[in-house]
Amino acid sequence: MTDLHRAGGLAALVCAATYIFGFAFLFAVLLPAGFGIDGAEAEATLAAIAGARGAVTLWYFVIYVVNALALAILAAALAERIAIASPALGRLTFGFGIVWTVLVLGAGMVMNVGLGRVLPLHEAGDPAALELWRVVDLVENGLGGGNEIAGGAWALALGIAGLVTGRLPKALCWGGLVIGASGLLTVLPGIGEVPGAVFGLGYIVWFLGAGVVLLRGRSARSGAPA
């Protein structure tokens, strides 16, 4: 097991923790306070954010910035593992992983700056706060979660590369294919929230599995140290 594999394993566990924290905070704190998902009920959402500004800022920081930084390490570690058998597939998976990382980090940066501009206007009673919030929310959703194309593409790439090279356990690969397909389905209108739920909850399990695989440092095909 290389140092990068060990770092990647820890990063995978961090990614899982950010998802768990994100869901728990959303359902326990934000939704009861009136927070609307996907731009719904903008006035109530903005009021909920203003009422718990520090906690909401921390929430966005964890689910976007911390998650993105951990994703970058994980993408590099998994790419290195796959590249032992196929350098080309390793580079391919790393490319998809970095694309997703940049989008997630960008969403966090947009929200960080956006809240800094919107909340002072809201506190001053300026009606422009609501329109500005709608713009910030739209950009953030476009980058970081309104659809899950980038994360789905990475999961699909890893699933296929893992099956072809044997460098990842089959359960992890097939799980990646299911998560990837679910992520791509989120772009289709009128199909409900099921694909998004499968994507988010599935990734928690997948991150935990990837963390165990990388920390154990065993090859799926040979059982030898990777």
**Are 206 and 179 spatial neighbours (Cβ–Cβ below 8 Å)?**
yes
Q: What is the 3-state secondary structure (H, E, C) of 187-220?
A: CCCCCCCHHHHHHHHHHHHHHHHHHHHHHHCECC
Rounded Cα–Cα distance for residues 225 and 2 (Å): 10
Q: What pLDDT shows up at residue 2?
A: 81
Of the pLDDT bands very low, low, confident and very high (cuts 50, 70, 90), residue 226 is low
Dihedrals phi, psi of 191, to nearest 5 degrees: -110, 10
Convert the pLDDT of each residue in 23-59 to its tens digit. 998 888 887 877 766 555 777 788 888 888 888 889 9
Residue 73, C-beta contacts closer than 8 angstroms, at least 6 positions apart: 4, 7, 8, 11
Our CA angle for 104, 105, 108, nearest 5°, is: 90
Q: Where are the beta strands (DSSP E) in the chain?
A: none
Dihedrals phi, psi of 221, to nearest 5 degrees: -85, -45
The 10 Å Cβ neighbour count of residue 54 is: 7
Rounded Cα–Cα distance for residues 157 and 74 (Å): 14
Q: What pLDDT shows up at residue 222?
A: 44
The more confidently predicted of residues 21 and 35 is: 21
Q: What pLDDT shows up at residue 158?
A: 97
Tokens for 226, please give them: 């990777």
Convert the pLDDT of each residue in 136-185 to its tens digit. 888 988 887 778 899 999 999 999 999 999 999 999 999 999 999 999 99
**pTM score > 0.85 for this model?**
yes
Convert the pLDDT of each residue in 77-133 to its tens digit. 999 999 999 999 999 999 999 999 999 999 999 999 999 899 898 888 888 888 898
Q: List the beta bridge partners of residue 218.
A: 225
Q: What pLDDT shows up at residue 138?
A: 87
